[in-house]
Chain A
């Protein structure tokens, strides 16, 4: 039960939140139709939910199904609301809380542009090798690396590249899937 905030003379009674926010990854199976992404994003915006990461792509072309992976931070009560509100949307087939149902596999891809000369380039390549990052573009003064892994691994790689001449980064956002034989 939430302790109540003082003062309050409001008919819209506000109460202090006592639950701790958690970070959850939701997988949302939807019809791939125009406007579906706007519906999902609009719902998050309208109800004040957070989006930390969002990944969308068609996954079953013949059935016109897309999988949307959303990472959100919310209290358990709000997380349940997010799931139920998403399920109210007509084109949404199913919402699966990957975090609630055990440890899901989570991967992200980043393209990292680093510019530098001389010893810096050698050090850059050595670190890239350690992170299994591939060189996908090279000039005499720059590299573009492709690195895949958990978001934390990508964070570390990017942090290491900062003093070595990091120019810019693009990240795909999270793709996640449950472990084991069962599908969604």
Chain B
């Protein structure tokens, strides 16, 4: 059974055996043997990117939209350093990717050889795990282990650095089963939560008067079944559900129990309910600072349950009363089972006063904005895009900034894995390559990068990749000629001194699209917006859609710096946001 082959052939073989169909990469000197092996097979399709950062984000988009591991292949030196940003991004957002980087031959390591860098040293703190493979005999084990570690437990990025001589060396290939990868001697992530703790959680849920589910990316990572179970549990209990940026889609946006996103730019009702609840059930979220706001004023009177597969997330930022360490989906199933064994009815009457209070908060219409006949409001543009794509198989990626928050607020998701965004790291330039990765995995779906004109220029070159592989991504640029979020913070904190937060010398995006061989559309008239969006969606190919929007629109509602959840800026106060934060508040960011 065991076959002899070169290290390079082992790489390609292991990818195929791991079920990998697409990889994203860029060749170079040290990676040539692997590229040669790729050339001589047709199981794994290689997508040639324009910059290795793009490859990393494509793999992230691919992984997030499919639940599979995304794979990147890069050369040594600059190839490896260029993937540091996506690796960090994937680590922060728990996205399973495997990066295979080539390295100079083992005999040259440490000699400052051409295109040499200390790849495992550089990436040690931005990967879940990484390897330098110095012997071809270790290669099959390391490759299979890399996939196992990337996808199991709390998912994350794994890097395998392979020197060129190891790629040429002959050795014995073994499959994951032959090696027994899943029985690792020190890495054994938890899965099933403690049933005693889950039963205790259900007891608390049965008594709660003001409960809320606070769900996160962990539900998405747990697989689509976890989202279904969440919905089942929410309907059984009758509790309201809010979610972090990363968790959007794990609960249907059209559901009456849906509260919208929480946190810094979350809805008023979600944040008020988090602040005033008596029982918080956190499922797969990590109490990020954009969620909690001021920690000592965060949900002061609630009992907190935290379900997380990573024990280090528990009690890291917020004190937890009842931790449950395990896979969200399995814990949710167990909660449903125990709940059903105790009662058959939602506690409608007991929860009625809570829902009444929530209805009051909802009436504030915190996502409201003043629309205009003359200029396109960015929120309006997203709402129209949402309406135009409703009912179709649609995937949304974003860059980072105001447009990202508006997309999170105004685009609604019914299913998980449809929303790809850079949450933890906040990587501008994520959305365009992520859209390419998503479209590779879902060739017939509508894939839209909701972008800003500043972010999108960071990885604009990947439009060329989309054109080459006929990937009909739509790049929906909300162009306000500003780094809008930076401008908003400068208004809030720095006396409206706009230090370098405006986009000068912008390209003509229509001509730019045409130069790449894509279609460009520009729209600046609210009356023509719907027709322009229809034209974008109808075009069978990549489109750059340049929407000229209101330049100084603020992204609201907002929990200002250092304030608790119940002190949000609502759209009604939007006239003078410069007066909201006092002098003391400006000292820190």
Contacts and interface: CB of A to CB of B under 8 A. Distances in A.
Physical interaction between A and B? yes
A77 B315 contact: yes
Contacts of B589: 10-12
Interface stretch (B499-507, B534-542, B579-587): B579-587
B311 A87 contact: yes
Contacts of A7: 584-585, 587
A15 interface: yes
Interface stretch (A89-97, A115-123, A131-139, A173-181): A89-97
Contact of A80 (B264, B310, B315, B562): B315
Interface string B116-156: 00001100110011001000000000000000010000000
Interface in A94-108: none
B390 interface: no
A31 B589 CA distance: 41
Contacts of A81: 312, 315-316
A152 interface: no
Contact of A42 (B125, B289, B493): B125
B561 A92 contact: no
A9 B563 CA distance: 7
Given A42-B124, A85-B312, A13 B289 contact: yes
Contacts of A30: 186
Contacts of B114: none
B289 A90 contact: no
Contact of B132 (A35, A42, A85): A35
Nearest to A9: B585
Contacts of A90: 128-129, 149, 184, 186-187
A88 interface: yes
Given A7-B585, A13-B562, A93 B186 contact: yes
A10 B314 CA distance: 23
Nearest to A3: B296
A8 to B, nearest CB: 5
Contacts of B292: 13
A8 B296 contact: no
A155 B404 CA distance: 58
Contacts of A12: 289, 588-589
Interface string A28-39: 001100110011
B587 A35 contact: no
Nearest to A91: B186
Interface in B287-335: 289-290, 292-297, 310-312, 314-316, 319
A184 interface: no
A41 B157 CA distance: 20
Contacts, number: 94
A93 B185 contact: yes
B263 to A, nearest CB: 10
A109 B149 CA distance: 39
A127 to B, nearest CB: 45
Nearest to B134: A34
A96 to B, nearest CB: 14
Contact of A92 (B186, B297, B311, B586): B186
A31 B296 contact: no
Given A2-B296, A31-B185, A85-B312, A8 B588 contact: yes
A4 interface: yes
Interface in A1-26: 1-4, 6-15
Nearest to A78: B316
A169 interface: no
A170 interface: no
Nearest to A11: B561
A38 B588 contact: no
Interface of A: 1-4, 6-15, 30-31, 34-35, 38-39, 42-43, 46, 77, 80-81, 84-85, 87-93
Given A1-B319, A8-B584, A9-B588, 4 more contacts: A10-B561, A12-B589, A88-B310, A90-B186
21 contacts: A2-B296, A4-B295, A7-B585, A7-B587, A9-B588, A10-B561, A10-B585, A10-B589, A11-B264, A11-B289, A13-B289, A13-B294, A13-B295, A15-B295, A39-B124, A42-B124, A43-B125, A81-B316, A84-B314, A90-B187, A93-B185
